[in-house]
Structure 1
Amino acid sequence: MTASLDISNSRPHRAKSFAQTQQTPFSFRLFQPVIGRDLKPSYREYRALISGLSQGDQIMDDFVEWMFSNSPKVGKQQFDQALHQGIHTVKDCPESLKRLFKHVEHTPEWFDQTLIDDALAFIHGTGTYANHVLRDAALMGGYLLSGFNQALVMTGALNKGASKRVGETYKWWIDCTEPQGLQRFGVGFKSTLHVRFIHALVRRNLAKSEKWDSDEWGLPICQVDMAATNLAFSVVFLSGLRALGIFATPHESKAVMHLWRYVGWLMGVDEQWLLASERESIALLYHTTLTQSAPDWTSQELGKALSIEPLSRHYANLESVRRLYAYHKHLSVSRYFLGQKKMQQLGLPKQTLPWFPLITAPINVVSYTAQRLVPTIHSALQQRGRQAQLDMLAQFGEHGHGTIQPDKHHPAHV
């Protein structure tokens, strides 16, 4: 009882108490046979979650602290040089930077390149449906978790528009899903380490800001929030595709989970949150939602901003018509995944109908299943799907050309 009281007193207010986490809806109990366990967290799991709300990325955070105790500008130059040219090229290299790159350049024992390649083949074959799931279900649905929103708002996610954030995130995802992209000097490896560096800068500067309420929110970009974000690219991705009629085989599920397990490791997510199986990860994803606040004004503002993002996209022809079509299509997908009540909580039109998924999901069930049976057709599907994913970058204009580049008003600006 004493331990329970201690942890309740130390938890950020956004997280539910342990007693509250044990009160799961009846409908959730139906998932127990599917995932092979009770969805409720054990007390040990709960303690880990609460601790994770105050934990950052120690090895990157140490380097950033060294930067600010010496010369931030020089430190950033050294990091960029090590990232793009190798740690051996950095003259008078600080020990904290050496430790960081020694860690990320030493591939974990469980890494399997064959699984990575198989994951890429599956992801490429999903074409733009990958974007629908990640944008309209994972990202839009994530805005309902308002504890997660605070760091986004303070980094300018509202006043700079959703197009910039979506475009930069999509470019990072493209980099991570490039063939050989996660090799040491591949675009995905370098993009991920760049984003990890930005996260550490944001974490340091927001935590020191008088605007940041650590009693309410914990640490900015904490381990639990990073783990939840990583799970969106794996667990939510696979579940969302099934709802759109695209079913991963057990091997493809394992491969996709492995890909994002490695990306999460590169991003600085602690290994205790990097689970190998989809079933285990479903429970973890649910557990992370128990550390989040209810929807609030940030949910509506971020939701509205994301909803109108398609109206600023770039098209080679019929731009006005295609922008409007994209706007209504993405809303229909969000409605399909989130339902009417959550659409309303996000400030989105609750009368929206899920017309696009209802039309395409039955077609996908037949077409994707049939294409698997013919290797040449399946290979062509993967090539066309990947090209469609790459073509989407042009729709974001300049925002689709690179990952986060903080301006002088951004907490990560150096």
Structure 2
Amino acid sequence: MTLHHPELAERARAQRDRLPDLYGCIDFDTTPHRFTTDPGVKSDLPEWVGDRDAVLADDRAVELIRTTTMLGDVVADAYAALSRERGVNPLIRMLQQACRSGVDTVPDAPDELRALIAAMEDTPDWLDMDLVEEGARQLRIGAAFLSPYITRGAFLATFINTYAALPMALTGALTGRRAARRVNETANFFTVTTLPGALGRYGEGFEAAAMVRLMHSVVRCNALSSPEGWDPEVYGVPVPQADQMPAGLINMYLSAMMALGAGRGEFTARERAMLEVSRYRCFLLGLPEELLPTTASGIVEVFHARAATLRRGFDDATCGELVRSTMAADLRPGRSLLDQAAETVERSWSRAFFLGICGGDRKRAERMNVPFGLLDAACVATTAPFVLGRFVTMAIAAEQPLLRRIADGYTTRVVKQRLAEYGNAEYTTHAATYRREVTTP
């Protein structure tokens, strides 16, 4: 029985009526195997991170994750479903034009496109665009000077659970050269949204969010259209909102943990601004407000509730393949000695970041195909003064009244340089590459 989030639960159940061709195969009154509150079953919440029993005792948080584990994005899904007749590329071109010059400029714009753009334009009452711009200014520093060294490691964190990683495994999008493209597209999205004005209605960030949202829906539609490769009773809804939340708020989760660790119950003004831009990005991607807390304790609560109810599972055919191909991918645009050196440094930093996700457990990281050796440690230690030193220096300079504009101008130029290195995001997927056989845990 739904007690705490009845409107959200009704929204999830209504998916079957609104898009029966896609969601007709799913019983929304049944809890999928991936979701568990059994204290005897291992979950994705490590003991060193949180007390699972205490998390499971919070009925409201558990219900929220259970509901959003069954929640897709019917607005974007309806538009993505048109790819069966029109193909994905025409949908991308129409969406790009609608983002850049308005949906009325798209010839014979389908109602599904109009509905998607309208949903993204329907900004929530809580949104403060001035705060978004300030938050973007703060996040630009990390995007310019820190993210290039850890994005791959953060990306790997999305592959350590079979149930959450399966949709990407089905696409075949993270094998071979396509792995590099997906990592760079992810980096491109989070980086471009930090540019000045990028999240305005006609900004690059707004368009990037629309493209990412469409690609999530294309993956969802293709997975649900491949019943031999997707078992709703085991996995629930592909790419559910509960699985999108961590990527959108990971930066704020880390800030929240540090705030609570320092005995602070509230975010600082700087952290609050970063939270605003993070929440708005999530809104543009279709996440419900219930998954976007405004307090440090609230963010930790939803993160831990998701991990505590996600059945642990790491199989080599799904997770291992994704991790190996992502680690092997060459992310740099060239193959010069400088590019190769930069690639080596970045891989070591990404391994270090992933090791942190594993709680410093080198054996666990190695079992997941991300070994962290002495050479990696030496590489990180040697380059840390430059990487962290530049990041901290620019963060301090950005808060000095006399240096703020100069620092932000330089940071913005570096961000644009990063975007050039990541390359143009293509946001494409091909149903023909979807795997038809998967390992069921």
TM-score of the aligned structures, taking structure 1 as reference length: 0.80
Instruction: Give 1:49's aligned residue.
Output: 65
- What CA deviation, in whole Å up to 9, does each residue of 1:241-262 have, x standing for no partner? 999xxxx971121111111111
Q: Following TM superposition, by how much is the alpha carbon of 1:29 offset from its aligned partner in structure 2, in angstroms? A: 5.5
The answer to whether residue 320 in structure 2 is matched with residue 300 in structure 1 is yes
Counterpart of 1:309 (choices 321, 329, 334) is: 329
SS of aligned partner of 2:252: helix
How big is the alpha-carbon RMSD for the aligned residues of Structure 1 and Structure 2? 3.9
Counterpart of 1:347 (choices 361, 369, 377) is: 369
Classify 1:388/1:220 alpha carbon distance in 2 versus 1 (closer, same or farther; 3 Å): same
Q: Following TM superposition, by how much is the alpha carbon of 1:230 offset from its aligned partner in structure 2, in angstroms? A: 1.4
Amino acid of the structure 1 residue aligned with 2:225: K
Q: Following TM superposition, by how much is the alpha carbon of 1:59 offset from its aligned partner in structure 2, in angstroms? A: 1.7
SS of aligned partner of 2:294: coil
Does the aligned pair in 1 maintain the 2:159–2:165 contact within 8 Å? yes
Q: Following TM superposition, by how much is the alpha carbon of 1:26 offset from its aligned partner in structure 2, in angstroms? A: 6.2
Instruction: Give 2:429's aligned residue.
Output: 406
How many residue pairs match? The answer is 394
Amino acid of the structure 2 residue aligned with 1:322: A
In 2, the alpha carbon distance for the partners of 1:283 and 1:232 equals 13
Does the aligned pair in 2 maintain the 1:64–1:200 contact within 8 Å? yes
Give unmatched runs, 5+ long, in structure 2.
4-26, 435-441
Amino acid of the structure 1 residue aligned with 2:302: L
- What CA deviation, in whole Å up to 9, does each residue of 1:334-360 have, x standing for no partner? 334532133113212243454526944
Q: Following TM superposition, by how much is the alpha carbon of 1:20 offset from its aligned partner in structure 2, in angstroms? A: 5.5
Instruction: Give 1:125's aligned residue.
Output: 141
The answer to whether residue 299 in structure 2 is matched with residue 276 in structure 1 is no
The answer to whether residue 283 in structure 2 is matched with residue 265 in structure 1 is yes
Give unmatched runs, 5+ long, in structure 1.
33-37
Instruction: Give 1:35's aligned residue.
Output: none
The answer to whether residue 133 in structure 2 is matched with residue 114 in structure 1 is no
Classify 1:87/1:8 alpha carbon distance in 2 versus 1 (closer, same or farther; 3 Å): closer
In 1, the alpha carbon distance for the partners of 2:371 and 2:125 equals 48
TM-score of the aligned structures, taking structure 2 as reference length: 0.76
Counterpart of 2:338 (choices 291, 315, 318) is: 318
Instruction: Give 2:198's aligned residue.
Output: 181
Amino acid of the structure 1 residue aligned with 2:424: H
How is 1:13-412 mapped onto 2 (pairs within 5 angstroms)?
13-17=33-37, 19=39, 27-28=48-49, 39-40=55-56, 42-65=58-81, 67=82, 71=86, 78-126=94-142, 127-136=144-153, 138-161=154-177, 162-209=179-226, 210-236=228-254, 250-289=268-307, 290-297=309-316, 298-310=318-330, 313-314=333-334, 318-338=338-358, 339=360, 340-352=362-374, 354-355=377-378, 356=380, 359-360=384-385, 367=393, 371=397, 374-396=400-422, 400-407=423-430, 409=432
In 2, the alpha carbon distance for the partners of 1:58 and 1:291 equals 23
Q: Following TM superposition, by how much is the alpha carbon of 1:47 offset from its aligned partner in structure 2, in angstroms? A: 2.5
In 2, the alpha carbon distance for the partners of 1:282 and 1:174 equals 24
- What CA deviation, in whole Å up to 9, does each residue of 1:68-101 have, x standing for no partner? 6875577666444433331222454444333332
Q: Following TM superposition, by how much is the alpha carbon of 1:236 offset from its aligned partner in structure 2, in angstroms? A: 4.1
Classify 1:341/1:280 alpha carbon distance in 2 versus 1 (closer, same or farther; 3 Å): farther
Does the aligned pair in 1 maintain the 2:176–2:329 contact within 8 Å? no
Q: Following TM superposition, by how much is the alpha carbon of 1:221 offset from its aligned partner in structure 2, in angstroms? A: 0.9
In 2, the alpha carbon distance for the partners of 1:333 and 1:59 equals 35
In 1, the alpha carbon distance for the partners of 2:338 and 2:84 equals 53
Q: Following TM superposition, by how much is the alpha carbon of 1:202 offset from its aligned partner in structure 2, in angstroms? A: 1.5
In 2, the alpha carbon distance for the partners of 1:81 and 1:97 equals 11
Does the aligned pair in 1 maintain the 2:174–2:326 contact within 8 Å? no
Classify 1:404/1:365 alpha carbon distance in 2 versus 1 (closer, same or farther; 3 Å): closer
Q: Following TM superposition, by how much is the alpha carbon of 1:402 offset from its aligned partner in structure 2, in angstroms? A: 1.8
